[in-house]
Chains A and B, each alone.
Chain A
Amino acid sequence: MPERLAWLLGLELFPAAVLAAYGLGLRGRPLGRLAAVCAGLLTAVSAVGLDRESFARLSIVLIPFAAFLWFLGTTVTPTTRLEDAGLARAAAACGLELAAFSTTSPIALILVWAATSALLAADHSGEHFRGARRLVVSHLGLSTILLAAGIALAACTGAGALRQTGLALVFAAVLVRKGIFPFHAWIPELFERGRIGAAARFNAPQLGAYVALVLAVPHADSWLLRSVAGLALVTAGYGALLALYQADARRACGYLFVSQSSLVIAGLEIPNRGALAGALILWVSSGIAVAGLSRAVLALEARRGRLSLDVKHGGYERMPLLAISFLVMSLAIANFPGTLGFIGGEMLARGAVDSFPALGFFAVAATALAGLAAIRMYFSLFCGKRDSGARLGLLPAERLGFAAAAVLLIGLGLAPRRLAGVLNRASSGVLEIQRTVAVR
């Protein structure tokens, strides 16, 4: 019973706390009311989808994680880049994700999958974003169709080859949405041409990983798991290398997303408790870190215009808090000791090398490159020039959001015992299901 209570509390208290901070951070925003409506929607939907005991422990972690991402997004986004309709869409998307994370029924997940895709497309309405909208519609449309077909096939045909193809289709859908090779190219393109805030909001919670973990991983054959893990690994290294090479800050953020989320997917495919727990931790740490980086790039872009990484911008003295928070998030991506990423990286590398040695080395190399790319962004965006531009410091709301992200990544990194324990039990739960399915 304690899990259910804790998890219900998580559903209720956390969004309420977020709304309070929302009011403090965004004084003068007219949408307090709409946010309250979303909180109501959120409670109702999650009450409906509540079952499958084993994933409850996972939800206890993922729900506050998604809520925090929404809080971070809305506090640090400048008003010049997020008008009222955007706020409504963000609140609705968060409500849907919270609902998805608290349910395991396939139908609910397909609905949320399609709805969040539609919201992302709605974000890119208007002539200016026509290219980005076509991109989103084509990719996410394809992924939704694949998902629906996969679930239908897997659900109705019991065991056997047909079920495996169904699961393969589900994996394909996840690959497209999460941007795994060969479908990875649209995410950096979306970051470059679309709204960086909306793209970060869509990618950070990594709903695709949850759907894969809930629907496909326990039931899939090992060859399918290995092939998906292999593809994800290639993308992890590929994405990190290209993030290091990019000249445009937005495309670099896109590739960092691709690299980190594919590392999480690769971790989920390993039938080893430590590796799976490490992947779950990485899920949380890379989600916060890369979303934070993208939001920081957005905040800087609102002040300085388009950012090129070949140029040194300076400005550390003007915004020391943003610079240090950016550095902490880069270190989390680099799995630096003292941050949450280190825990996840160690557990993933340790667990992976037993069952899938290639993953161990590739994961290490990918994190090393991704860390370098992130720190290169830090040096380019905050150092290298005596900043003589206008004095544009951080607003109180931005200060609150970025400090919270940095404190969370360091705090959990230094005292990971509770989080690691919860996710360990969650991963053992998933493996149990996998064993029972295999027996059957």
Chain B
Amino acid sequence: MNLLLLRSAILVAMAAPAVLLLLLAVPSLWSRPWSEEQAGWLTRAAFLAALGGLAVAGICFAAGPRQRILLRLGDWFSREGGFAFDLLIDGWSLAFAALAVGICGVVSSFSFRYLHREEGFHRYFVLLVSFVFGLELVALAGSVEALFAGWEILGLSSALLVAFFHDRPAPVDNALRVLTFYRIGDACMLTAAVLLHHWAGSDSLSLLFSGGVGRLAFLGSGRILLIAVLILAAAAAKSALLPFSTWLARAMEGPTPSSAVYYGALSVHAGCFLLLRAEVLLRSSAAACVLTAGVGLATAAYAAVVGRAQSDAKSRLCFASLTQVGIIVVEIALGWEVLAFIHMTGNICLRLLQFLSAPNILHDLRQLENDRGARLQASEEPAGPFARAIYLFALERGFLDGLIELWVERPLTRLVAGMDSLDRRLYRLPLALLGGGDEDA
């Protein structure tokens, strides 16, 4: 009975945002949307249902034997295709899912008043609810397909929310850039999933996430390292670790609550959660561990330095958050799972509160001056021989944009331009074959 209750609770938790998504999306597609109050009540009901479901599941799980449970929810595409859609329930997944739904509930109650009378009100909530659904999928995913589906929904909803104000060119350009980085991450993850299925035979993630170190030994260290690197790349693209850190500052174009929940809190930590789940992978390959720790440390150092020269509220916050994300990745690489999860929860909640009250910074600093009874001492100038270079490095956010433009974009566009001009001449090939003579068609 315990398992049945757990299964139904999880189903409710997963179904609530999905149903809400359909309820919000379909009427506004046919331009007869709900009124703001109705949408408000629907969303509150769905979030409470999801939270209730997860709470019940948590209680059942705690009451039960507390080891991993694989819920098979039947087959997604076709019986023979072997695309099982199943969920993996354990301490981490329930905790992260509950955190995700709770935080998004708080942000949605903030957004009702903040986006009152806004032109894209319904579009915003459709994207926010699809973000919650994607997060739940990532948290509770049992099979590779579910994890990959949740991962992509996450990416698309955050890119479309960066382009929320799509009557201006800047958010749209930045959204496309953000989506490019996410697509690179998604491609890496899909490749890792396909390779894992190819080599390990089963697509169940329980293989990846559970069991001792020995479970994956049969793959051979080279293959493990390749899968680990691909998973790390996917996590790095989503959590803006180096070298993908350039899109984080660009993603601040959306409304404050969406920037808060995506880039201050949950979306940035989804990568860390993925690494947390892929603990077995890291444990079974020392090289992967060192690489992950290295990337985390480098990102933390990079963000700490760059964050010191940022003179606007949201940049300061997102680089502060990125510093902690880098440290969390190092903690995960070193295997301190519990500390990493607590640190992640702390960073999520603190950054969300700071982001939501970011416009209040004038008020807060004046209050701080009055409390201290003295003027805020002027921020000091960086000292030392390389002061100028370090400050320029920090001001230009580590030149990441420029370097990517120089080393990646420029050669690629030159190559593609060459291909395009080749094409404009190539179509005359059959004309020549048929002896049709080559005049300008």
Q: List the interface of chain A (C-beta within 8 A of B).
A: 130-132, 134-135, 138-139, 141-142, 176, 182-186, 188-189, 193, 238, 241-242, 244-246, 273-274, 277, 312, 314, 316-317, 320-321, 324, 331, 334, 336-338, 342-343, 346-347, 349-350, 353-354, 357, 360-361, 364-365, 368, 371-372, 375-376, 379, 382-387, 403, 416-417, 420-421, 424
Contacts and interface: CB of A to CB of B under 8 A. Distances in A.
5 contacts: A183-B430, A312-B169, A379-B172, A420-B81, A424-B81
Interface in B409-441: 413, 416-417, 419-420, 423-424, 426-427, 429-431, 433-434, 436, 440-441
Contacts of A324: 29
List the 5 shortest-distance A-B pairs measured between CB atoms, nearest first. Answer: A383-B166, A337-B149, A131-B441, A185-B427, A185-B426
B298 interface: no
Given A131-B441, A135-B441, A350-B197, A314 B167 contact: yes
B255 to A, nearest CB: 16
Contact of A141 (B153, B198, B434): B434
Contact of A384 (B76, B78, B172, B186): B172
Question: Mostly helix, strand, loop or mixed at chain B's interface?
Answer: helix
Given A176-B430, A185-B424, A314-B167, 15 more contacts: A134-B441, A142-B434, A185-B426, A274-B81, A277-B81, A336-B152, A342-B149, A347-B81, A353-B195, A368-B187, A372-B176, A384-B173, A387-B167, A417-B78, A420-B78
B237 to A, nearest CB: 12
B44 interface: no
Interface in B157-187: 163, 166-169, 172-173, 175-176, 179-180, 183-184, 186-187
Q: Which residue, of A141, A347, A375, A421, has the highest number of chain B Cβ atoms within 10 A? A: A375
A424 B77 CA distance: 11
B166 A384 contact: yes
B198 A321 contact: no
B163 A379 contact: yes
A376 B176 contact: yes
Contact of A245 (B79, B148, B191, B416): B416
Nearest to B156: A336
B77 A384 contact: no
A142 B434 CA distance: 8
Interface string B77-91: 111110100000000
B420 A361 contact: no
Contacts, number: 153
Contacts of A312: 169, 172
A424 B441 contact: no
B194 interface: yes
A385 B433 contact: no
A371 B413 CA distance: 18
A178 to B, nearest CB: 14
A311 to B, nearest CB: 9
A123 B435 CA distance: 24
Contacts of B190: 349, 364
Given A188-B423, A353-B195, A353-B198, A321 B430 contact: no
B135 to A, nearest CB: 14
